[in-house]
């Protein structure tokens, strides 16, 4: 059986580790703090700063894994090219991990090289450049650090007074050494979807049913599957997803995000790993959840089909305050609801708005998806995390 070095050990890494354990794989979970969620279920763990390239080199040499699986962006990803040269398999590929950690690389690949439809955009490396970029793009517009995750440092500029504030917030939320932002024209979209796209070594690319989601503070609050989308838009999104994942190479699951607007589908972003909005698949919506699909693609296990079996929704359960001893009130209320479940991630500390758990609901495919989402939201509100 294979040895997997998991770089990043949050809730997504935990579910991936559980999937790997179920089919006999060995997982070493890595993160910057002890007792991270995936460490609680892995065979072993390492605590390092993954932005320290030498520390990363040390643990790769120590464990000599069959697969290096990044779960987060904040990693010295340029080292991955060296690991590939040394014969290690980086998931999905060193190129995918590098390009998607940096919004500049992935946006230029999508818009300039592949000709995908994206929002109009500019880059800025200073407050002065940001003012100029906003002038060219127009207001309203969205500012994001080139390197960040989970909406950190992201804001919307609605008036010229917001520009300075947006720059400072982006710098605060930026990860790694690069202080640069992308400024995007505001796309007047009707909805957003995540298209989970599975690339395989010896088999065709597969797609899950599209997932809808709602965001607040740059982070997802609810997600649902299936999302409503026309056949034409779905075909367009699948075509774009296949082009960009093929250009990045390797095998694994990608979370590809799109805006659906009156004038068609816009490519937004991409993660080369299980996506937070894809936690809805833990509600039993598919024959395989997103973590099982990622694992099977990595291991070159053929996936016969991905079948949508139920309508489902997920809603996040957030912490309300800072604590080093989290407590959960109201879990018995969720447990008593029909067609409802929950996952507690096991994070050792809380802070306001930190994602600590998720409520999951499902129902038959002919149930209106709005009803399933409402039930998930109501279930999440029954739990208080302090």
Contact status, residue 74 vs residue 51, Cβ threshold 8 Å: yes
Q: With CA atoms as reference, report the closest residue to 237 among 195, 290, 268, 276.
A: 195
What is the distance between the alpha carbons of residues 258 and 189, in angstroms, rounded to a whole number?
Answer: 10
Query: What's the angle, vertex CA 254, arms to CA 249 and CA 244, rounded to 5?
Result: 50
Number of other CB atoms surrounding residue 295 within 10 Å: 27
The torsion defined by the Cα of 334, 337, 343 and 348, in degrees rounded to 10, comes to 10
Three-state DSSP class for 176?
Answer: coil
Number of other CB atoms surrounding residue 227 within 10 Å: 21
Contact status, residue 280 vs residue 225, Cβ threshold 8 Å: yes
Query: What's the angle, vertex CA 170, arms to CA 94 and CA 185, rounded to 5?
Result: 85
Contact status, residue 222 vs residue 315, Cβ threshold 8 Å: yes
Three-state DSSP class for 238?
Answer: helix
Q: Which residues are catalytic?
A: 149, 151, 257, 269, 276-277, 355
Q: With CA atoms as reference, report the closest residue to 209 among 334, 309, 68, 294.
A: 309
Q: With CA atoms as reference, report the closest residue to 109 among 287, 248, 282, 249.
A: 248
Q: With CA atoms as reference, report the closest residue to 343 among 53, 6, 11.
A: 11
Three-state DSSP class for 230?
Answer: coil
What is the distance between the alpha carbons of residues 118 and 129, in angstroms, rounded to a whole number?
Answer: 21
**Residue 95, preceding bond cis, omega within 30 degrees?**
no
Chain Cα centroid distance, residue 123: 23
Q: With CA atoms as reference, report the closest residue to 8 among 63, 62, 65, 75.
A: 75
Q: With CA atoms as reference, report the closest residue to 95 among 81, 76, 85, 114.
A: 81
Beta bridge partners of 27: 4
């Amino acid at each position: 059986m294979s040895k997997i070095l998991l770089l990043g050990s949050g809730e997504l890494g935990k579910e991936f580790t559980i999937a790997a354990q179920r089919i006999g794989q060995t997982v070493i979970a890595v993160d910057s703090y002890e007792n991270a969620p995936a460490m609680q279920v892995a065979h072993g763990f390492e605590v390092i700063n993954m932005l320290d390239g030498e520390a990363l080199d040390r643990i790769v040499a120590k464990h000599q894994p069959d697969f290096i699986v990044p779960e987060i962006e904040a990693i010295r990803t340029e080292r991955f090219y060296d690991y590939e040269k040394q014969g290690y398999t980086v998931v999905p590929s060193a190129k995918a991990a590098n390009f998607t950690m940096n919004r500049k690389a992935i946006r230029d690949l999508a818009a300039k090289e592949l000709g995908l439809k994206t929002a109009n955009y500019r880059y800025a490396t200073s407050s002065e450049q940001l003012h100029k970029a906003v002038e060219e793009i127009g207001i309203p517009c969205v500012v994001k650090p080139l390197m960040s995750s989970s909406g950190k440092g992201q804001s919307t500029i609605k008036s010229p007074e917001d520009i300075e504030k947006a720059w400072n917030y982006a710098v605060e939320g930026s990860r790694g050494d690069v202080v640069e932002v992308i400024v995007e024209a505001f796309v007047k979209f009707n909805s957003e979807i995540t298209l989970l796209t599975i690339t395989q070594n010896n088999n065709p690319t597969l797609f899950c049913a599209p997932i809808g989601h709602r965001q607040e503070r740059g982070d997802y609050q609810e997600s649902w599957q299936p999302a409503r989308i026309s056949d034409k838009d779905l075909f367009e999104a699948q075509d774009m997803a296949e082009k960009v994942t093929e250009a990045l190479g390797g095998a694994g699951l990608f979370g590809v995000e799109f805006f659906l607007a009156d004038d068609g589908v816009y490519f937004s972003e991409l993660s080369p790993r299980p996506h937070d909005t894809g936690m809805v698949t833990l509600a039993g919506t598919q024959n395989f959840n997103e973590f099982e699909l990622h694992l099977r693609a990595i291991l070159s296990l053929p996936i016969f089909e991905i079948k949508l079996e139920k309508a489902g929704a997920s809603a996040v359960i957030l912490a309300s305050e800072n604590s080093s001893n989290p407590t959960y009130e109201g879990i018995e209320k969720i447990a008593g609801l029909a067609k409802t479940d929950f996952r507690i991630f096991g994070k050792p500390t809380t802070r306001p708005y930190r994602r600590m758990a998720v409520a999951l609901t499902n129902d038959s495919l002919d149930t209106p998806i709005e009803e399933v989402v409402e039930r998930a939201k109501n279930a999440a509100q029954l739990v208080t995390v302090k």
